[in-house]
Copies of this chain bind each other. A is one copy, B any other.
Amino acid sequence: MAGNSIGQFFRVTSFGESHGVALGGVIDGMPPGIFLDETDIQHDLNRRRPGKSRYTTQRRELDIVEILSGTFKGLTTGTSIGLIIKNTDFRSQDYNEIQHVYRPGHADYTYDCKYGYRDYRGGGRSSARETTVRVAAGAIAKKYLSKYGVEVRGFLSQIGDICLELKDLDEIEKNDFFCPDINRLEELDVLIRKLKKSGDSLGAKITVIAKNVPPGLGEPVFDRLDADLAHAFMSINAVKGVEIGDGFSVISKYGSENRDEITSKGFMSNHAGGILGGISSGQDIIAHIAFKPTSSIRIPGRTINNVGKLVEIVTKGRHDPCVGIRAVPIVEAMMAIVLMDHWLRQQAQCIDVFQKYLK
């Protein structure tokens, strides 16, 4: 099918451009009888929202979500949920000059190759504004999963050469960086200021953990839980790498170190990141995602226009010095959407076994 949907049973279909009238989507497959209103969604949208702090783009979008269907008197009805988020603060004139120019590191060139025509304003459909719909859908998934104690938590685990350890999940929401270590905030502040001053950008790593996921989620052999997570994360703008559990560090590990031995008290380690054979094991599910540095920077670069002529480009518009920071709620949303989808899939085929693991 066409590419604007994700999930089989908890299915999210999205539309909208950066400078269009509105973004929105349809969430299909939400079970009935769940309390849901806009505030459930708005919380995560606010976490992702641009213009909140000096560390992110200054485009100021309120990102107010409106639920158009699928709930009645505050409860989901089981029918499809229509959502809309209006665009308000776009300045399309900033983009007139890129109308015929391919910004390096952006999708301008490939959209032209693919479609032969593109909405160049703010990147059109290739803009990360599209991720508002993901965050909204993820919030709905989280609402359902929370009934069963499942929690999805993301944080910034690296930016440039600064590696951040998970000290305290509770700190993450108290700072503008989704940083899990309160002692590193100043360092980050200095780094971002420097970046903004230089007009350059840096990459980042986001780590996401899902807690209290019951065992049994994931469908062999192609729709493994890890495979679907990799798909979901890699579909986020600017992502270039996905790891489950120990990821690339397993290459230089011995089998005797890496296999997670089990005792009657449970697993003795979690190198696998909570997934074995593509199926959740009941341990924490852990993934790491690499975001490239924003390609839109104030430092001049070479590119070509749509007739192949070399031109110099300096991005104007308003951009994040590190897109990874605001990506935390997006990553969480994708995790929640995938878990939710596999939850329903496990219910479909293996309900008798599954119910043993649900309270």
Chain A 195-224 residues near chain B, CB threshold 8 A: 200-205, 215-224
Instruction: Determine if B222 and A273 form an interchain contact, defined as CB atoms under 8 angstroms apart.
Output: no
A301 contacts the other chain (Cβ, under 8 Å)?
yes
Binds B, one of A54-62, A172-180, A348-356: A348-356
**Residues on B with beta carbons closer than 8 Å to the beta carbon of A250:** 203, 240-241, 290-293
Instruction: Determine if B114 and A262 form an interchain contact, defined as CB atoms under 8 angstroms apart.
Output: no
Q: What are the 4 A-B residue pairs with the smallest beta carbon separation, nearest first? A: A107-B277, A3-B219, A105-B259, A15-B82
For A4, give its contact among B28, B202, B264, B280 (CB under 8 Å): B28
Instruction: Determine if B109 and A281 form an interchain contact, defined as CB atoms under 8 angstroms apart.
Output: yes
**Residues on B with beta carbons closer than 8 Å to the beta carbon of A69:** 15-17, 20-24, 125
Known: A32-B117, A215-B114, A254-B201. A220 touches B125 (CB 8 A): yes
**Residues on B with beta carbons closer than 8 Å to the beta carbon of A169:** none
A256-B200 Cα distance, complex, nearest whole Å: 6
A-B contact pairs, 5 of them (CB 8 A): A4-B219, A4-B220, A6-B222, A114-B216, A241-B241
For A32, give its contact among B200, B279, B353 (CB under 8 Å): B353
Binds B, one of A43-51, A181-189, A302-310: A302-310
Quote the shortest CB–CB distance from A217 to chain B (angstroms). Answer: 8
Instruction: Determine if B202 and A279 form an interchain contact, defined as CB atoms under 8 angstroms apart.
Output: no
A80 contacts the other chain (Cβ, under 8 Å)?
yes
Other 11 A-B pairs with CB < 8 A, given A2-B345, A22-B69, A26-B26: A6-B222, A20-B69, A32-B115, A77-B125, A79-B119, A109-B276, A113-B281, A200-B254, A230-B234, A240-B248, A241-B250
Instruction: Determine if B304 and A263 form an interchain contact, defined as CB atoms under 8 angstroms apart.
Output: yes
Instruction: Determine if B70 and A15 form an interchain contact, defined as CB atoms under 8 angstroms apart.
Output: yes
Instruction: Determine if A234 and B244 form an interchain contact, defined as CB atoms under 8 angstroms apart.
Output: yes
Known: A107-B276, A263-B302. A248 touches B256 (CB 8 A): no
A247-B117 Cα distance, complex, nearest whole Å: 29
For A294, give its contact among B30, B245, B255 (CB under 8 Å): B255
Instruction: Determine if B233 and A113 form an interchain contact, defined as CB atoms under 8 angstroms apart.
Output: no
For A234, give its contact among B21, B217, B224 (CB under 8 Å): B224
**Residues on B with beta carbons closer than 8 Å to the beta carbon of A102:** 262
Chain A 253-281 residues near chain B, CB threshold 8 A: 253-264, 268, 271-273, 275-281
Known: A4-B220, A256-B297. A116 touches B352 (CB 8 A): yes
Instruction: Determine if A75 and B117 form an interchain contact, defined as CB atoms under 8 angstroms apart.
Output: yes
Instruction: Determine if A26 and B32 form an interchain contact, defined as CB atoms under 8 angstroms apart.
Output: no
A33 contacts the other chain (Cβ, under 8 Å)?
yes
In the complex formed, the residue of B with least CB distance to A224 is B235
**Residues on B with beta carbons closer than 8 Å to the beta carbon of A293:** 250, 253-255, 257-259
A295 contacts the other chain (Cβ, under 8 Å)?
yes
Quote the shortest CB–CB distance from A348 to chain B (angstroms). Answer: 4
Instruction: Determine if A28 and B16 form an interchain contact, defined as CB atoms under 8 angstroms apart.
Output: no
Instruction: Determine if B235 and A278 form an interchain contact, defined as CB atoms under 8 angstroms apart.
Output: yes
For A220, give its contact among B79, B256, B272 (CB under 8 Å): B79
In the complex formed, the residue of B with least CB distance to A131 is B221
**Residues on B with beta carbons closer than 8 Å to the beta carbon of A96:** none
A88 contacts the other chain (Cβ, under 8 Å)?
no
A160-B251 Cα distance, complex, nearest whole Å: 5
Instruction: Determine if B251 and A203 form an interchain contact, defined as CB atoms under 8 angstroms apart.
Output: yes
**Residues on B with beta carbons closer than 8 Å to the beta carbon of A113:** 215-216, 279, 281-282, 353, 357
